[in-house]
């Protein structure tokens, strides 16, 4: 069991940051921990990485309880904090070697890690000279130094430009082939781009825990289409995954599908195959983004 959280509650003063949270991650997979700001994501990650203790409940990493077996839990987990503190004056290799010494890690590992995290072309620079994307790579390299089975990444892609975003996502996906990656984000697209599974948290409570493909299948989508003449509802029901067809006015139809996959191309092909002309074709509330908004609405 990579991560096990049971009925965990964290109270800061009078504020309940986590409210009876339970979940498990069993195998190497990339799990997105998604929630709006203030939902309790960083709090959960600080507990899993043994930085703070829960008020109630328990958590373990790789089978090691974070409170009763702290050392073993720490050895199992690598952590990239939300605001990763770095020594800007240190050279990349110097910084990694410094941390390797603190944690008694063979310095031979540094070259492997520099290579793995794509730092080689920048490794001769000081951290202060690096872009935000490369600084994140240094943070990832540092989290991976002791070769932990579980990686906890707190908003690893926040603040990156589009190119850096693509590169860091690819790197995380690559790492996730062998390790359990538990990463937080407040952006659904990040989950769609990287994760196999998503756990959605809102106001300290889990509101969804699903595989991405289940989520896509569970979400409905409505397409609005206008043809150049009348079509029988029953005819449109031949489209795949149709739930309902409503002829809203004139030759305009609202077709609801039981999937969040973009169905417009199916409608287009259907019209083409049946010699119908499309005058307009729009998608209404389809995205997983809208599901996230529904689940985390006030």
- Write the interaction track for ligand ADP spanning residues 9-48; mark x where CB under 6 A is met and - where it is not: ---x--x-x-----------------x-xxxxxxx-----
Cα separations in angstroms, 180 against 25, 172, 175: 8, 10, 8
Residue ranges in the chain assigned as alpha helix (H): 41-48, 70-76, 92-102, 108-116, 132-144, 162-175, 188-194, 212-218, 233-236, 264-273, 288-295
Of 123 and 198, nearer to Mg ion (C-beta) is 198
For the CB of residue 293, give the shortest distance to ligand ADP in the complex, in Å.
Answer: 16
Contacts with Mg ion by CB under 5 A: the residue count is 3
For the CB of residue 42, give the shortest distance to Mg ion in the complex, in Å.
Answer: 3
Of 82 and 254, nearer to Mg ion (C-beta) is 82
Nearest to 72 by CA among 59, 63, 81, 82: 63
Of 28 and 38, nearer to ligand ADP (C-beta) is 38
Of 42 and 60, nearer to Mg ion (C-beta) is 42
* CA atoms of 87 and 96, how far apart (whole Å): 10
User: Can you spell out the DSSP letters for 48-105?
Assistant: HTTSS--SEEEEEETTEETTTTHHHHHHHEEEE-TT----TTSBHHHHHHHHHHHTT-
Contact status, residue 61 vs residue 48, Cβ threshold 8 Å:
yes
The footprint of ligand ADP on residues 41-80 (CB under 6 A) is 41-43
- Judged by beta carbon distances under 5 to 8 A according to partner kind, the member of ligand ADP, Mg ion, none in contact with residue 12 is ligand ADP
For the CB of residue 166, give the shortest distance to ligand ADP in the complex, in Å.
Answer: 24
Of the candidate residues 2, 42, 117, 185, the single one contacting Mg ion (CB under 5 A): 42
* Contact window for Mg ion (CB under 5 A) among 6-14, 75-83, 135-143, 213-221: 75-83
The footprint of ligand ADP on residues 112-171 (CB under 6 A) is none
For the CB of residue 152, give the shortest distance to ligand ADP in the complex, in Å.
Answer: 12
Nearest to 94 by CA among 112, 106, 78, 107: 107
Of 254 and 289, nearer to ligand ADP (C-beta) is 289
* CA atoms of 225 and 247, how far apart (whole Å): 10
Nearest to 228 by CA among 275, 283, 282: 275
* Contact window for Mg ion (CB under 5 A) among 78-86, 133-141, 171-179, 215-223: 78-86
Of 203 and 264, nearer to ligand ADP (C-beta) is 203
Residue carrying the six token digits 């080689």: 120
For residue 294, how many other CB atoms are within 10 A of its CB? 11
Of 42 and 296, nearer to Mg ion (C-beta) is 42
Chain contacts with ligand ADP (rule: CB under 6 A)? 12, 15, 17, 35, 37-43
């Amino acid at each position: 069991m990579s991560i096990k959280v049971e009925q965990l509650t964290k109270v800061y003063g009078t504020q309940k940051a986590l409210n009876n949270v339970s979940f498990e991650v069993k195998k190497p997979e990339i799990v997105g921990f998604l929630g709006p700001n203030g939902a309790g994501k960083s709090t959960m990650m600080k507990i899993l990485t043994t930085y703070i203790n829960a008020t109630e409940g328990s958590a373990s990493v790789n089978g090691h309880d974070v409170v009763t077996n702290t050392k073993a839990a720490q050895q199992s987990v690598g952590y990239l904090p939300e605001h990763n503190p770095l020594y800007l004056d240190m050279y990349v290799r110097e910084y990694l070697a410094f941390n390797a010494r603190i944690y008694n890690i063979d310095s031979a590992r540094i070259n492997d890690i520099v290579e793995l995290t794509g730092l080689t072309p920048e490794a001769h620079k000081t951290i202060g000279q690096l872009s935000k994307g490369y600084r994140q790579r240094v943070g990832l390299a540092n989290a991976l130094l002791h070769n932990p089975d579980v990686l906890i990444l707190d908003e690893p892609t926040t603040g990156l430009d589009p190119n850096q975003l693509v590169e860091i996502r690819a790197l995380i996906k690559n790492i996730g082939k062998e390790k359990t990656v538990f990463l937080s984000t407040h952006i659904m697209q990040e989950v769609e781009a990287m994760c196999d599974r998503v756990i959605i948290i809102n106001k300290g409570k889990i509101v969804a825990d699903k595989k991405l493909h289940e989520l896509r299948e569970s979400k409905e989508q409505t397409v609005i289409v206008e043809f150049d003449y009348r079509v029988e509802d029953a005819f449109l029901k031949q489209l795949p995954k149709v739930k309902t067809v409503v002829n809203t006015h004139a030759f305009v139809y609202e077709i609801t599908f039981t999937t969040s996959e973009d169905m417009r191309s199916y409608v287009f092909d259907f019209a083409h195959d049946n010699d119908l002309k499309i005058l307009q074709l729009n998608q209404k509330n389809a995205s997983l983004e809208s599901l996230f908004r529904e689940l985390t609405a006030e």
